[in-house]
Amino acid sequence: MILPLIAIRVCRMTHATNDAGQTAQMFATLADEAWQQLGSRPLADLTLAEIAAHAEIDAGLAVAVAGDPQQLVLGKMAALDDQAVLESFADIEDAGAIPIREKILEALMHRFEVYAPYRVQIQALNRAARGRPDLALALGLGLQSVTRRMLAMAGDHCDGWRGLMRVKGVVGVVMVVARVWMKDDSPDLAPTMKELDRRLQQAEEWAVSLRLFQQSHRRANQSSEQEDVTAGRYWVDND
């Protein structure tokens, strides 16, 4: 009897895995459609029934999978953030030994590049967030999460309260630079890059003045000018 029971459990686990994969695929399909529609209408005008119809997915099943259009849009942003992080990781790995600050700059800049075709959607979300506190909170938490991942990827795991403050500092930088990015129609986003570099330098100076780095770490950086002191000390600390 033991072997048949094991076989039944394995079969159930296999079905559960397949179901999870199918659910994820349906969600991604619905999210892509919702994101496309957000490019031509406000978030409030999106309906799950219409999104499901265009995606050729049963409306009732779409409700079970997605819940509402807002969740689909947030899911699409999470997918874009994953894309930005993984592509930045590959670029950083290929670049070899580069300063930490350059890794952070590269990762943040690449995220702006990934979102560049979707400025209209970002504008629609910004407008919607003014009347939806839950959306504003979700967008903020999402940005904080991807920022923490990028800093960790660059070499700063942001542990402790100092790490949290550094994450929030970079989030603030991204939000300020986004104003320039929204109006930047240059092919290489050079104005955005320039503003991002300037704001990161400014944030670093504030972090130093607020003692968001360990004293021993600051001393080590001060003794290694040839290794680009600014880049070497920027956001590197394990509290």
Q: List pLDDT tens digits, range 208-222.
A: 676 665 543 444 344
pLDDT of residue 226: 43
pLDDT of residue 6: 57
Q: What is the pLDDT of residues 53-62, one digit of tens each?
A: 999 999 999 9
Q: Report pTM.
A: 0.80
pLDDT at 26 over 60: yes
Q: Which two tokens stand for residue 5?
A: 């029971």
Cβ distance 203 to 170 under 8 Å? yes
**Backbone angles phi and psi of 86, in degrees to 5:** -65, -40
Q: Would you call 202 helix, strand, or coil by DSSP?
A: helix
- Between 87 and 161, the higher pLDDT residue: 87
Cβ distance 24 to 66 under 8 Å? no
Q: What is the pLDDT of residues 54-92, one digit of tens each?
A: 999 999 999 999 999 999 999 999 999 999 999 999 888
Q: Which two tokens stand for residue 55?
A: 């995606």
As a whole number of angstroms, the longest Cα–Cα distance in the chain is 71
Neighbouring CB atoms inside 10 A of 158's CB total 21
